[in-house]
Amino acid sequence: MTMKKTLALLAIIVTFLILQGCGGQQSPQESDREQAANDSPVSEEEVLFNPGDFEDPSVCGGCHGEIHQAWSGSMHAAAWTNELYQPDYLLAAQETDGATDVFCGECHAPVAVRVGQLPPVDGSEFDDTSRQGVSCDFCHTVSEVKEPVNVQSISEPGRLKRGPRGDTVSPAHDTVFSELHTDPAFCGACHNVRHPTSGTMVIDTYDDWLDGPYAEEGITCQNCHMTPTPGVGKNPGKSATIGDAQERDHVATHFFVGGSSWTLNRRGYEEHAQMAEENLRSAAELSLDGQVTANGLELTVTAENVGAGHAIPTGVTYIRKMWLELTVENEQGEVVYVSGHTDDDNHVDPDAVFYRKLFIDGDGNQTSKSWLAEGIGYDRRIPAGGSDSETYIIDAVGSSYTATVRLLYRTTTQEALNNHLSEEDLEIESVEMAKETIVIN
Ligand code: HEC
Ligand code: HEC
Ligand code: HEC
Ligand code: HEC
Ligand code: HEC
Q: What's the pLDDT tens digit per position in 69-122?
A: 999 999 999 999 999 999 999 999 999 999 999 999 999 999 999 999 999 999
Name the percent of the chain lying above pLDDT 70: 89
At 354-385, the pLDDT tens digits run 999 999 999 999 999 999 999 999 999 999 99
Query: Cβ distance 435 to 354 under 8 Å?
Result: no
Confidence of residue 47 (pLDDT cuts 50, 70, 90): low
Is the per-residue pLDDT at 157 higher than 50?
A: yes
320: CA distance to ligand 5 center in Å? 12
* pLDDT band at residue 414 using 50, 70 and 90 as cut-offs: very high
Q: Which residues line ligand 2 (CB under 6 A)?
A: 57, 60-61, 64, 67-68, 71, 76, 134-136, 139-140, 163-165, 181-182, 186, 222, 226, 239, 248, 251-252, 254
**Residue whose CA is closest, atom 20 of ligand 4?**
258
3-state class (DSSP) for residue 236: coil
**Residue 52's pLDDT band (cuts 50, 70, 90):** very high
Per residue, the 3-state secondary structure of 374-438, as one string, reads CEEEEEECECCCCEEEEEEEECCCCCCEEEEEEEEEECCCHHHHHHHCCCCCCCCCCEEEEEEEE
What average pLDDT score do residues 124-149 get?
98
**For the domain with range 284-440, which CATH number is right: 2.60.40, 1.20.140, 1.10.20, 1.10.3470?**
2.60.40
pLDDT reported for residue 10: 34
Answer whether residue 212 shows pLDDT above 90. Answer: yes
The span from the CA of 54 to the CA of 116, in Å, is 12
Specify the ligand 2 atom closest to the Cα of 223: 18
Q: Whose CA is nearest to atom 28 of ligand 1?
A: 163
Q: Which atom of ligand 1 is nearest to the CA of 62?
A: 5
- For β-strands 201-203 and 284-293, DSSP reports them as unpaired
- % of the chain at pLDDT higher than 90: 84
CATH 2.60.40 maps onto the chain at 284-440
Cα distance between residue 363 and residue 54, in whole Å: 43
Would you state the pLDDT for residue 16?
Answer: 31
Rounded to two decimals, what is the model's pTM?
Answer: 0.93
Give pLDDT tens digits for 6-19: 333 333 333 333 33
Position 86 scores a pLDDT of 97
Q: How many residues belong to the chain? A: 441
* Ligand 3, atom 23: closest residue by C-alpha: 258
pLDDT score for 250? 97
Instruction: Point out the ligand 4 atom lying closest to the alpha carbon of residue 219.
Output: 5
Confidence check: pLDDT of 23 > 60: no
How far is the C-alpha of 343 from the C-alpha of 143, rounded, in Å?
50
- 155 Cβ closer than 6 Å to some ligand 5 atom: no
Residue 370 backbone class (left: φ over 0; alpha: ψ -120 to 50; beta: rest): alpha
Backbone region of residue 301 per phi and psi (left: phi > 0; alpha: psi in -120 to 50; beta: other values) = beta
In this predicted structure, what is the pLDDT of residue 266? 96
